Amino acid sequence: MKKNVLSAMVGAACIASSTMSSTAIAAPEKPNIVYIIVDDQRYDAMGFVNHEAVTPNMDQMAKEGTYFKNAFVTTSLCGPSRASILTGQYAHNHGMVDNNKNDNVYNLDFFPQRLKQAGYQTAFFGKWHFGGVEKEAKPGFAGFDKWVGFIGSNSQGNYYPINEFGGASELNVDGKIVKQKGYITDELTDYAVDWLEHRDKNKPFMLYLGHKGVHADFLPAPRHIGKLKGKEFTKPDSWVNNAANYEGKPRWVKDQRNSWHGIDFPYMENLVVTQI
């Protein structure tokens, strides 16, 4: 895996796009941008926030960067939130209110389009998951010169080259359907690093890397199997199903326990605390 190479290149990009003087640090005219998003990460499931969590890379980024303690999301669902990130609009304006197909996705104004107009190279890797365009997308869509995206399994992507139905996991690489070769976190990182290494070094760039992890199903890379064997994790207070836990909260907080994305049924009905 090239995560260390990517981290180094991200750091180099930040350094290269900054200028220093004896009096102040001037904002670069066209800074390079690397945006990395992980999926379904709890706010407190990071080692520097909760000592039970094992997240050394996130801990390092928090230590060497900035941690926004009071950051909130208005629409906590894949499609609406990702559309908001890419358009800068609330869901009631961009219209992506769920993860389903929506042809209006072609009419949205995505910020990578603006960056391309400003001379940027742009690339997308990973999870899109709104508008239903995963198979149709190709270079140029939403302002991205390079496109490597998930398809299949409701466009969630698969951790392994063989999906849950026994078939081959697939990716859309620049409009062509190709088979996934390895563990998806590693493969996306490799695609991203390869693009960074072969881009035009004379132009600024923006890279969007949308990982599948840590979305269910919780399948680790082969090298990590057994690494946390014997480690116990404390369930959050919100796990408790009693009146005190729901006091002062909207009714849907209780109702959603029995929903597709709820704690108890049916999406996670087979979730148990296991040693991996």
Which residues are paired to 125 by β-bridges? 148, 209
Query: Which of 129, 198, 224, 261 is flagged as catalytic?
Result: 129
Task: Give the number of other Cβ atoms within 10 Å of residue 4's Cβ.
Answer: 11
Q: In the chain, count H helices and then E strands.
A: 8, 8
Q: What angle do CA 77, 83, 84 make, to 5 degrees?
A: 90
Cα dihedral 233, 239, 242, 243, rounded to 10, equals 130
Query: Which of 78, 92, 94, 224 is flagged as catalytic?
Result: 78
How far apart (Å, rounded) are the C-alpha atoms in residues 158 and 167? 11
Verify whether residue 129 is a known catalytic residue: yes
Verify whether residue 211 is a known catalytic residue: no
Structure tokens of 226? 């057994």
Active site residues: 78, 129
